[in-house]
Amino acid sequence: METMKPATRRTMYGLISLTAVAIAVGVFVSQQKAAKPKAAAPAAQAAPAAKAAPAGPLVAAKPSYDFGKISMAAGKVSHKYWVSNESGAPVTINKIYTSCMCTEATLITPSRKKGPFGMPGHGVAPTISEPVAPGQAVQIEVVFDPAAHGPSGVGPIDRIVTIDNDRGRPLELQMAALVRP
């Protein structure tokens, strides 16, 4: 800058000053807009309320279960969920799978047991093709192995068993526990 002519130097300083003022004004205006409360949209322009996703045909009376405090040393724990077809038409259970390799699920109908089924990618996840008549109830037995993850598995856990069917949204059964050594 020492070799610049004084007029060129003044012009450059003027442009820098003008740029700094423009930035400061822009920041001030944007803060004023952010602080100003927005007016409510007229009813005609308001976004429609989100509709709840329709329930699938399979329903669990109690879709979640908490084992509470369980001991890793005591071994596996299990719980049976009752699942029923609440629709007016037959439903076919296509697949059952779990959210973790430490959890298995078995389908229990009046005539047979199918499973256990585990986490996709950790063994076979076959198609089941088990029909469930309207009003019929079946059981899903879920077995959780608290020792499956070793010492890193201590603490709160949440697992999901998903039941896919041919007529709608899958049913998710949830379980929780607090794993102690």
| pTM listed for this prediction | 0.68
Note the pLDDT of residue 138. 97
Which residues are bridge partners to 103 per DSSP? 144
Which pLDDT belongs to residue 2? 57
In b/e form, how buried is each residue of 125-150, taking b as 16+ CB within 10 angstroms?
beebebebeeeebbebbbbbbbbebe
Instruction: List the domain boundaries for the chain.
Output: 1-36, 58-180
Give me the pLDDT at residue 56, please: 81
CA dist 101 and 121 (Å) reads 9
How far apart, in whole angstroms, are the C-alpha atoms of residue 116 and residue 64? 19
Element (H, E) at 18: helix 6-35
**Are the C-beta atoms of 163 and 173 separated by less than 8 Å?**
yes
For residues 146 and 99, is the Cβ–Cβ distance under 8 A? no
Check residue 4 and give its pLDDT.
62
What is the rounded end-to-end Cα distance, in angstroms, of the chain? 72
For residue 168, the model assigns a pLDDT of 82
Q: For the domain made up of 58-180, give the CATH fold.
A: Immunoglobulin-like (2.60.40)
Phi-psi region of 32 (alpha: psi -120 to 50; beta: other; left: phi over 0): alpha
Blockwise average pLDDT, block size 10, the chain, 181 residues: 66 66 58 49 39 70 96 95 94 95 95 92 78 96 95 94 93 97 92
Q: What is the DSSP string of 63-129?
A: -EEEEEEEETTT--EEEEEEEEE-SSS-EEEEEEEESSTTEEEEEE-SS-EEEEE--TTSS------
Question: What pLDDT score was predicted for residue 130?
Answer: 94
Give the pLDDT of residue 29.
Answer: 53
pLDDT of residue 49: 41
